Structure 1
Amino acid sequence: MRKKTAFSVLLAVLLWFYSAQAQEIQKKVLTIDDCVNIALKNSFPARSAQENYQSARWEYLGGWSNFLPSLSVSSGWFRNSQEILRFRLGQLVSSRDQYSFNLGLNQTIFNGGANFASYNLKKYGKSSAWDDLKLAEKSVALNVKQGCYDLLKAQMLYDVQKDAVEVSLEQLKMAKARYDLGAASLSDYLKAKVQLGNDSLTLITNENNVKLAEATLNSLLGLDVNTPLEINARLEYTKLDADVEQETRKALESHPQIDKARMGLNQSHSSLTLARSANYPSISFFGDYSWSDIKLPELKNFKRDWDPYDSWDIGIRISLSIFDGFLTTSQVRSAKAQVRLNKDNLEQNKRDLALAIKQANLSVKEGERKIQLTDDALKSAEEDLKLTQEKYNLGAASILDLLSANVSYKTAKNNQVQALYDYNLAVAQFEKATAR
């Protein structure tokens, strides 16, 4: 009965391995850079930021309208309730119809700087939208890298657990053989069997974690969540070559987050200029040409029928607001407050960015120390497992000693995977913070 049970467990685990290997067929192989590029094309945050930038570009183009003349044309026809009498070409003519045509031109000469302020608002708005696009791309890149690292970590932990199950199988067979020979107790055999069951349960959880990480990464890439993926990369240690002080100074000057805050300050200055422009007179040049008659001109006598009824005028218009119910005063004071607020916001963004770089750098250093420690711990655990296995084979160690050594070895490998994951994620966060 015990032989049948052991054989059933062994068969179930082997079938599990084969089914897991079959699922790896026809997977889409991508590098991390490939994943980032796909996400930048497909993900909603990146596409939304791109569309916002395109919108800001067109608004910036519209900002030139403040300097260019406006030209309008209109034409109309209407019918009166009563006849209209008019001397037309020396004759008294009546008609209920009225036709008209008008062409108007207007050019602003001076409006207190409002045209320049409006143009600058659009210009800084476009720059701010560009910074938003760059920030969105950096965020998408970080999220995708983390998604790739999550999948790689899940796969590595799955492989560690699969190896643990294989070791537990070997230990179960060895315990069974020793029990059959009378060299081990039934308790040893049962302990090995329980360990195999526990490791198999953890393997199921780890396999589910791989599937979940794969689906999450697909979602980040804008792909179907069921798309099979394989990341052509490994979680490994590559030393970060960066001068933190130099990177910080560079980021505080040109990072999109800082540039966006700087554009916000520039926009508030332009808004203040725009509000103050209401205190100055507005000067503009205008010209109008109009025609009106009770009949449409004939084509063969167009000049004769048109000229007597057209008119034109040109001039310069000056206007000045004397009292607007304190509207201008309130807008100026509000704009001044916004300038002060955006100055503080710029300084706060600089502090936040410096802190983010500091935190990321500390995380990188912490990751380096963890990798060194986990490497040393893994070597010790591996050596201890070998010694304990040899002692167990010679009968100098108990099954508990062997199982404990095996658990310590598996824990050390898991810790090494986690340390590599934490380090690579910290490097990605440092790159985002410094806009590398």
Structure 2
Amino acid sequence: MFKNLVLVSLLVGSLCANEVSVNLDKAIETALKNNALNRISKLNLDIAKAQYEQALSANYPSIDAILYVNRDSKDTIYQQRGEFNLPADMVALLTPFGLSSTTINADIDTIAKGRDTIRGQVEVNYPIFTGGKISAIIEQARLNKEVKKQAIVREKANVVYDIKKYFYGYILTNELYTLIESIYKNMEFSRDITKEFLENGTELKINRSDYLNIKLLTSMIKSALSTIELNKEMLRSALANTMGLKHDDVLKIEYNQQEILKSNRQLQDLVKKASSLNPEINTINIALKIKDEQIKESKSDYYPMVNLFGNVSHTYNSYEYGYLNEDDENRWSLGLAVKMSLFNGFKTTNEVMEKKLDKKVMNEQKLLLEEGIALQLKNEFLKSSIGYEQVQTLKDAVNTAIESSDMNFKGYQYEMVEAEDLVKSQLMEVYVKSAYLKSVHDYMLSLATIDKLVGSKVDENF
């Protein structure tokens, strides 16, 4: 009963699984659409765009509305103590009215402001001149957005390279599997016919050692076949994972054996193209521009900061007189603020020096990066050039090995070829064709590496 349930569940799983058939172009397209790292890079670009928009806000005036509500423990009392000294001419005028003193008592206790206050105010601030600080910050935010774009390009290049690596690896293992499977069938037949020759007699010089050697080789080939099949499935799984497929999707890989084309590019052309397209080089070029803007930002402290400000307010107070009376409840003000650092202990000078030194360090890093990429391109260019020649050489050897293997296999059936010659021809076919397939794989992978280093597809024939 349990076994039946397991079989039913496996059958249902296979029916629900989604079969995905892809060639190389389709695999790359799907991976670029589904790859998680690529999606993260795009989200980082969206963040950089939002930061750029935030930086642009510094170009506009800030307008703030403020509501102020306050209740004090008691009214604000204005107190004054002392005397007023009257001038002589006023004393003379007031003498007929009974005033004989030249001073008047000035002791006063009066309400200056009620305990309840409500004020509504609108404030405006606008930086007129900042010594280039705002423009430098905005440009840094814009350049940071470009850095994130290069990160997307770099991640796409990595995804494309990984897809090609797994795809070419699958082709290699699949072709090897087909080859080994064919040889295994031949050796399996040869093992059986050798046993028959040994038991029934033949004109060939067959002994038990020949039979055991063929039997052992057949078993070893079968073991190798299992290993290659496992590698093929692992590469299929790696390709599906890079494409972003679900774990239960069934990936079917399609490819056609086409003529291997030789690269028609020169090394200097590749290096020149990489200097303008490689995302790593472009990123460090953008970073150098950011350093320039950071230097400008630091230098802005040498200049005054000029800010225009203003406000409009309406105030209500629980006491209708005092200094918040009806005539003073509506007020406005407009002003200009200028701030300039006269001395800050050489802080600005050293900040500018720091940023300039940072740029020099990055320039040195750029030279190392360019030289490193050029060296990698040179190595891959040489590998691809030699690899292409190996492919062409081995192509003829493969045809010869196949012809020899077929001839010996047929000759052995008709007792015209010795067992030793049969084994040698079969092994030679495996060796030569495996070397050919490996050369094709390495050549194509070398071209894929060149594409990655340059930053784009360098030749449509690739």
Question: Do 1:71 and 1:106's aligned partners in 2 also have CA atoms closer than 8 Å?
Answer: yes
- Give 1:292's match in structure 2, choosing from 301, 309, 315: 315
1:238 and 2:277 equivalent? no
- Give 1:316's match in structure 2, choosing from 333, 336, 350: 336
What's 1:15 paired with? none
What's 1:106 paired with? 125
Amino acid corresponding to residue 374 of structure 1 in structure 2: L
1:248 and 2:271 equivalent? yes
Structure 1, 178-187 or 327-336: larger mean CA deviation: 178-187
Pairwise CA distance, 1:323: 3.0
Question: Do 2:310 and 2:335's aligned partners in 1 also have CA atoms closer than 8 Å?
Answer: yes
Residue by residue over 1:340-385, the C-alpha shift from the partner in whole angstroms, topping out at 9 and shown as x without a partner, is: 1222223223222322322222221122012122213222322332
What's 2:220 paired with? 198
Amino acid corresponding to residue 138 of structure 2 in structure 1: Y
- Give 1:182's match in structure 2, choosing from 190, 201, 224: 201
Question: Do 1:214 and 1:228's aligned partners in 2 also have CA atoms closer than 8 Å?
Answer: no
Question: Aligned runs of 1:200-279 on 2, under 5 Å?
Answer: 200-234=222-256, 236=258, 237-279=260-302
What's 1:19 paired with? none
Residue by residue over 1:209-260, the C-alpha shift from the partner in whole angstroms, topping out at 9 and shown as x without a partner, is: 1111111111111223443212222464133333443343233234333222
SS of alignment partner, residue 81 of structure 1: coil
Pairwise CA distance, 1:36: 1.3
Is the alpha carbon distance of 1:139 and 1:235 closer, same or farther for their aligned partners in structure 2, counting shifts above 3 Å?
A: farther
SS of alignment partner, residue 223 of structure 1: coil
Number of aligned residue pairs: give it.
403
1:140 and 2:183 equivalent? no
- Give 2:380's match in structure 1, choosing from 360, 385, 388: 360
Pairwise CA distance, 1:389: 3.3
In structure 2, runs of 5+ residues without a counterpart are 1-13, 79-109, 457-462
What's 1:43 paired with? 35
Partners of 2:429 and 2:340 in 1: how far apart?
A: 85
Is the alpha carbon distance of 1:95 and 1:284 closer, same or farther for their aligned partners in structure 2, counting shifts above 3 Å?
A: closer
Question: Aligned runs of 1:264-413 on 2, under 5 Å?
Answer: 264-294=287-317, 308-389=328-409, 391-393=411-413, 395=415, 397-413=417-433
What's 1:55 paired with? 47
Identity %: 21
Question: Aligned runs of 1:88-167 on 2, under 5 Å?
Answer: 96-167=115-186
TM-score, normalisation: structure 2:
0.80
Amino acid corresponding to residue 56 of structure 1 in structure 2: A
In structure 1, runs of 5+ residues without a counterpart are 1-21, 298-304
Pairwise CA distance, 1:85: 7.0
Partners of 1:78 and 1:31 in 2: how far apart?
A: 74
Residue by residue over 1:296-322, the C-alpha shift from the partner in whole angstroms, topping out at 9 and shown as x without a partner, is: 99xxxxxxx987412111111000123
SS of alignment partner, residue 117 of structure 1: helix
Is the alpha carbon distance of 1:234 and 1:426 closer, same or farther for their aligned partners in structure 2, counting shifts above 3 Å?
A: farther
1:428 and 2:444 equivalent? no
Partners of 1:199 and 1:47 in 2: how far apart?
A: 44
Question: Do 2:314 and 2:330's aligned partners in 1 also have CA atoms closer than 8 Å?
Answer: yes
Is the alpha carbon distance of 1:225 and 1:368 closer, same or farther for their aligned partners in structure 2, counting shifts above 3 Å?
A: farther
Partners of 1:408 and 1:329 in 2: how far apart?
A: 75
- CA radius of gyration, larger in: 2
